[in-house]
Structure 1
Amino acid sequence: MLRAIFFGSVGTLAETSQLQCQAFNNAFDEAGLDWFWKPNEYRELLREPGGVKRIRAEAKRRNQSVDAENIHARKVAHFYDLVTAKGLVPRPGVVETLEWARAEGVMVSWVTTTGCDTIDLILMGLRNSLSASSFSFILDATAVKLPKPAPDIYCHALKLAGIGPDNAIAIEDTPESANASLSAGIKTVAFPGWAAAERRFPQGIKSLDVLSAEALFSC
């Protein structure tokens, strides 16, 4: 019996990758660096989670010394400005799935290992469509020591929900994050966005372009 739906990474709710790429490039320019990540290049870089880690890897590749933490902080600030100016749109079927779950008494939670500042920003960008109250609980990077693809965040979510893995379904947008929920024993649906549209998810996972209750139950 389905008792909980776990939305995973930020990208399961809204498409943000291209805005984030623009924010990185704005931060590089502000720092006086001649770095520029093209969209397809950034898509490949997203295979490795962690913005600071990606900046450090780029600096190493170019044999340059940079303050990766500060550049990433400025990237977050630029991303905030972009989201504030442009807003965000929920991905297809997200709002309808939330409404169905609420009507049926199915718990919905957001289970991510991103920072709380990013969560607040995404909620602000989506404020016309959903809010923190749309979820029974929201987990962020402070909830566990190991980020995805470790299963820790999902094990913690199951404990908070008071259910077993057979009573939940996870929605994830990248293969790495899908491995986290699968490792916790949770049935998982792939909902790849722009960043992972051409990537291969673990075998046996159904991939959706549009979320719906019917699609989740058929997985």
Structure 2
Amino acid sequence: MIFDCDGVLADTERDGHRVAFNATFEHVGVDLHWSEADYATKLQIAGGKERMASVLTPEFVAENHLPTDPGAQAEMIADWHRYKTARYTQMVADGALPPRPGITRIITAAQDAGWQLAVASTSAEPSVRAILTQAVGPRRAEAFDAVLAGDVVPAKKPAPDIYQLALERLGADRSRTLVIEDSRNGLLAATAAGLRCVLTVNGYTRDEPNDEAVLVVTSLGDPGGETTLVLANRGQARPDAFVTLADLRNCLE
């Protein structure tokens, strides 16, 4: 099983990454603040550095007295992104971004059952490892078979590259591998790699097209906690109040 990070392991985008981006813009002294609506648009761009670079129009560069040379701009964006990653990682360490319902339970059950597990994310690796550790603790996070993040592949989602790399690293059979994603970009990346995909949507992604997903739910849910609402089911799983490991296995049938 291969997990995306942001929006899957934790609901990180609105109150995590967006906040850290805005703190970075304030820190470097540029006149920019992303509202929730602004950030919904930026989420269509995979990768934090790429989202930052998307603001570098000639007008924005001139107004904020930024470098015009492409090389200098790339170095500047890398600096901004390092600061942003540090701010975000501190937020995770402070417990500001708890795991989504069902994540700790499913990862624990899957590891105990001998499943190979990986994370495949376009976020920076320190951010991903921080979220994973917050969700399942250091021992289980370190037991993951692969954590692929950031610029580990040149083409980011919706390109399938990161999932193809995950398959290679795991030595996994496509027909026996399931992806857990939250967005259309991730869904397209997974299915382009020939993988079945379960979507656990959030407020930013609930209304995106999902025809390629085998199962679409509001969350994995937890006994005694948030319950699962099934939005679409095109497979053999029959989840009730929460999604079980058996349900996810049935998504491969």
What TM-score results when the alignment is normalised by the length of structure 2?
A: 0.74
Equivalent in 148, 158, 180 of residue 171 of structure 1: 180
- Give 5+ residue unaligned stretches, structure 1: none
Relative distance call for 1:97 and 1:179 in structure 2 (3 A) is same
Q: Per residue, is there more helix in 1 or in 2?
A: 1
Displacement of 1:135 in angstroms is: 1.7
Counterparts of 1:177-196 in structure 2, within 5 Å, are 177-196=186-205
User: Contact (CA 8 Å) 2:191, 2:212: kept in 1 or not?
Assistant: no
Would the aligned equivalents of 1:178 and 1:202 in 2 still touch at CA under 8 Å? no
**Is 1:9 aligned to residue 2 of structure 2?**
no
2:180 aligns to what SS in structure 1? strand
Aligned length: 215
Deviations 1:130-182 (A, max 9, x none): 74234222222454333222222222222232232111111111111111110
Q: Identify which range, 182-191 or 148-157, moves more after superposition.
A: 148-157
* Pairing 1:118–2:150 present: no
Cα deviation 1:53-102 (Å, max 9, x = unaligned): 22222231753253333222222222123223334311111111112212
Q: Percent identity?
A: 26
C-alpha contact (below 8 Å) 1:123/1:130 kept by paired residues: no
Structure 2 CA distance, aligned partners of 1:69 and 1:173?
Answer: 26
What's 1:133 paired with? 142
Note closer, same or farther for the CA distance 1:141–1:19 as it changes in structure 2 (3 Å cut).
Answer: closer
Larger Rg: 2
Q: Go from structure 1 to structure 2 and tell me whether the alpha carbon gap of 1:122 and 1:130 turns closer, same or farther (over 3 Å shift).
A: farther
Q: TM-score, normalised by structure 1?
A: 0.84
> Relative contact order: is structure 1 or structure 2 higher (C-alpha 8 Å, sep ≥ 6)?
1
- Is residue 36 from structure 1 mapped to residue 44 from structure 2 by the alignment? no
CA distance in 1, matches of 2:202, 2:95: 19
Would you say the 8 A contact 1:95–1:130 is kept in 2?
no
Q: Distance in 2 between matches of 1:74 and 1:35?
A: 16
